Structure 1
Amino acid sequence: MKNKWLYRQMISFLPVFFVFTVVISLLFYLSVGELTQRAISNANAALASYIMKMVDSNLQDVEGMIAKELITNPLLKYFGTASDSNFPDLYSKEIVNKLTEFTEASPFIDTAYLIRNKDGTVFTPGYKIPLDRFGDKDFITSVRQNGLPVHWTNLRSYKDTYQNDSSYNVISLVKPVPFDNSQGILVINIRVSTIAKFLNGLTKTEFSKVELMSQEGQSIYGQGVDNGKERLSTSYSAEEVSNYTQWKISVGTANEEMLDTAIVFTYVSIAAGIVLTILGMGWIVYVVRRNYAPIQSINDKINAYLLHKRMQHQGDRGKDELQFLETALDRIIDQSLLFEKQHEESMILRRQHQFRQLMNGDSQSDLEELKEEWQRQGLQLDNVSLFVSIFEIDKQQEFISKYSQRDQALLKYLLQNVIKEISAEAGICQWSEWLDPMQLGIIFQGADMESQEQVVRLCERNIEWLKHNVAFTVTIGIGSSCEQMDEIPQSYADAQESLKYKSSMGHDRIIGIWDIAGRKQGKILPYLNTVRTISQLYRLDDPSWHSQFEQLRMHLTTNLFTSDHIKNMLEYVIYHLNEEINQLSSDIREYWNKEVAPKLELMLSSNHSAQEILSRMYQGLTDFEQAIRALKERKNNHKLIRGLQTYIEQNYGNPDLSLMLLSETVQVNAKYLSLLFKEEFGEKFIDYVTKVRVEKAKSLLLETMDPVQDIAVKVGYTHSISFIRVFKKYVGQTPGDYRKNKA
């Protein structure tokens, strides 16, 4: 076998290394200068744009605030027409206060004053003075002669009246007062030094030069520039002109000589790179020969092995050393991985099978093997306390839809290991296996576990960890305490029984068998009539369905029910709602069947708690109620029908109440009125009135001790026999039996 690999490595590496290194070095060093210049120019352009936008934004904010005050403030509107004779002192103070508010409203505003054109009076935050004595009168005279500027003035010198020796540069905003009638002038001044201070906060850096010029070329601000005498270089500088003020800002780079030097240095580095490339080629030759020695040793051993096994490997003669090595390693690795995988899968399946047998009480035949596995898990056989717990993942449909199969496996692996770590910290041994995709069974054992409170505390730590670290929750069912392995199936059955009540008692919590052992089971049957009443009231758009639904919700969430009982009850609710809605008009039925009914069905399969399902169901019914009410409001006859409904509620005790009476009352044809009633409520007029009377009678039977005959008269029946017959038809029992049973 020849040393093909050694020469192949040298021939392969050297040309590639040389070409690649030289080309990359040339491309890098030739482009670094251009990229540097472009990056600096782009950075300067971005800085110039940002500074100009910030300056414009602050000036526009000031102008916008002033414009808003001029338009909306009645104080400024009155200002232009008044004089000292009819200008109360209180009003003057309000003007002064308003000017003070202007100067305090923005850190940019330096001074503000008002000039009344009628008599030339100037109002400032500190005093009132005639215009001819005002320090800034020259500017006011110029404004009156040349007209008011559109936005801000150019740089000008401002001199305060009482500071004769002090003046400073400002820009001014001049607005007529009132806004639509120039009877006065409002002047807002901003110091140039304030703008410069603001820009210092934005551009304070040793790497940039910034210059801000007015429209007429006056220098407003300069950082790193000698008062506008030193012009910025065009190699790296950027300019931005404001569409608002027409000011121009220029941003350049300090130490440009250093940048030019760096670019020159790149060309020098090219020559150094070529020299290093040649040295690198020599180093590759040396390293390849040196590192080939271990490969040669392995190849020699492979050759000896192949000579010994020549008859079995005739096809290997023409291969070089790497091919021989690859073939041998492939065979070893494949066989090792296959064996390891088979062994691991076998052990996991066997352990899970033993765990399930132990839980189900079927482990007698493999008792010795089970004891061995029990001890491998770190558990003891005698003088210990055992508790079986089941960790069940909540909201299983959401968990399956939210996470892929791979993510589910990772999260379940994480849950199992967290339980192991927390148990180890507490000094408690445990054995956990997944009983099904959503249930993790655990046997807790510890020498100090003398009470169920210790198990509860351990499970609470697991729930707390999950709450802060993952996006799903678990509910934990805990069985009764046991001391022997043959008692574990009963503890497991208790844990399963506890989890049956998670829908009623809530998710993300611990439910021990002791929590349900002494509690009285809730009853479903007494509330079946409530379900029917809710459905009927909902169809009739009677607001009292809300209180009835709340009564049902309180019953299901405060009493103890299994998940199956709650699901059956909610299915019964949905069934009756479907039956009632199907009596309404076709457009309402279509909306219900398309938008609401599928969502209600989905809620039942969501595996949420009863509290969550009922809350979502109530919200869905309320939304549908509002949607249908809006739909009905768009119909012309809805208001009429609502009026008739109110009339019936108020006059149900009138024995003469009939469709004809309503027709005469509202002056609408009786047949047409009957059609409207059927369309609105899904039933005939007489059926609706009868149900109203029966509901009122039920209330009177329970709330009063009046005789049945008197109650019949109160709800509109002159003959008690007719009342009793109707009541039994709708309620299923006579009024007397109803009162007796409810009492």
Structure 2
Amino acid sequence: MKWNHFKSKLLLKYTLSYISIFLIPLVILTIIIYHNAVDTLRSEIEQTNVNQLNQAKTVIDERMKELQDIAFRIAYDEQLTHYWTHHPYYSRESIGALVKYKATSSIIDELFLFFRGDNSIYSSQGFEDLNVFTKNYKFNSWNKSEIVHDLNNVQIPTMRPAEQVVQGTKIQNSMLAYLVPIAPNNTPAHGTVMYLIHESNLTGLIDSILSDYHGMTYIFDNNGQVLAANYQGETITEQEVHDLFELKPGTHSLTLNQEPHSVVSVKSDSGWTYVTAMPSNQFFSRIVHIRTFVILVFSFVVMMGTVLAIMLARRQYHPISDLMEFIRMKDHPVPSTTSNELEWIKKTLHDYSQRVDLQEPYARNHILLMLLKHGHTGEFPAEFTEKLGIRFNRSHYFVVTMGWESKTLPIGDNLEKRPVMQLMNEVDLPSLSAYAYGVELPQPDQLAFIVGFDAETGHEASLNARMEPITQALQSMAEEHTGISPAIGAGNRYSYPEQLNQSFIEASTALETSILHGQGSITFFHTLSGTGEEDSSFWVPKDVLLKLVQSLKQGSYDVAVQMVSTALNNLKTEMPSVPLLRCICFDILNTMLKTASELGIHHVVNQLPRVTSYDSLEDLEKKLAGLAAEICAHVEAKSETEESSLMDEIVAYIDANFADYDLSLGMISSKFSISSSYFSRSFKEKVGMNFTQYIWQKRMDEVIRLLLNTTDPLKDIITRVGYLDTPSFIRKFKKETGYTPGQYRKMNSPNAGDSVDDDDEECM
């Protein structure tokens, strides 16, 4: 049954909130935009013009610098000395050089080279006398005598304002003359380079920034003279022009020719001033259009705000509704009296979080068990282990295994080992600079501890001595909690947690020896190799063979291969005689075959001819590694088969006895000799739900079957399936289905009679 949206106060709050969020800011924004749109847009346009005018200024300044650089190169060009230019033969090369210099700048219309005191002048056209300024280039206000005077006396680069120049018989062009004195090696100027530049070459760079706007463009020199200008058909007075020059850099609003203008002014490092003046009505009309459009859009949004708010509120509420429906379908029906869905979801998530916390010890134990068996945590990343509180930040690590004789521990649901795991899940030994993580093994009478401690790298004996008090402290704690001192086996210590699988193999081997010595004994693996005279001629260390046997028994291929390699490397170092070498190699092979036989793997004997025929120790190592791989694979497959078979047997037992009042996790663990955490994890992997959920579902299905197919009283039915607390079962049944058992029977079994609801009332 879907949650009724129309009854939701949360949905109503969402709707009102979104209406307020939409409408109130929109109305305020509309008023603000109405008053500020003009100023904002105008400021943006003017700022854009400032930036673009600065770009044009930079380009023009670079062009002027290029012209000065050209004059500088001309001054030092050997082909353009007084001697070469006047020489009857080399003068042609000088003219060619001028042509090349002219081509280096796109704004030069013509380039002249004049040597002071001379009666001639040189250009890209060739050698000419000074009458060229009365024939080919006739300035409107700059006569020949003034030109000659300026060419002979100019001391600094000087730009003359643009004026009309008649070029031969052609039409007039507005051109600027740029005079640059040349003086190589800091000597007095001996000549002048004069450039003729079309005015449009400069004003065109500025006009390009105006885009589709139309306005006036001015370039002023240091003294306020108009060097170049583009009036775009407008005329202003000289005073207004002077006012433009006096403006500070930036944007301004002026009235020019009785019309408001937007003016942009920038100054270059050379002292030139660049000014653009645009009639304001050009972009004010655009601003009016934009402002009108904005007002229309905001008006439309205001009108649609309420509709959009309702739609958005429903959209926002939809995931909450789906989440409530999802949880209700699981095992948390939504109470009809709830007033705030979010509070109820928060409570439900809190319940789920508690469930996760209950599963955390199983996940933690699983990761540590993988580390013991394989030397890594599998697919679980380091971040996950960190969240579970598993950290490896000590200098040395080793594994301790504890074992009790099964008959010494009480049988039933109150196994003493369970509180031991809870109390020794993580042990801190600050006085010994050590800590330990408890790991529950699949065997019900064994525990393992991953121990980490800090110690400076030193003598082997001193490090082994550090391990003894730590192991004794763990034994004392276990004895304190169980009342029984366990047998303990301790593996060698290693520097990296990835080597803990080796230490676990060693600890398991030591535990087998320790159990033979009786409860309370402690055996360290490094003591098993033996130091007596009987081992003096034994080429393969005893501890290597012990680890090899244990690794094969546990299916740990990596450790087994490493032990084979270690054994053969020792033989390579000792270099025994060939007969003795063969005997020792057969001893290693015999150890592996004997272990395989104990594990029930008899077919590997058939590989004996292949393994015993080897040409070198390297060849033998490969064949022994292959044999180890086959044995370990068989052990792993057998373990998986036995586990699957055991789970099938347990599931079958539960299906047959789910109505037993005493059925519990502890009872199953004890009956089938398996640890509770290992059973819980394996059971969930097998059936897809945990033990408690599975029992509840079986009992639930049986109750529904009896409700629909019998007329037995509800209390008898509930008791028959193993549930003693009848009122609690009815509440959980209603939470699961939405109905009481009596209502469910009446709805799905019409012939059940009208008295079924009375069972509910009686039981409640």
Interval of TM-score (by shorter of Structure 1 and Structure 2): 0.3 to 0.5
The structure whose Rg is larger is 2
TM-score normalised per structure 1: 0.39
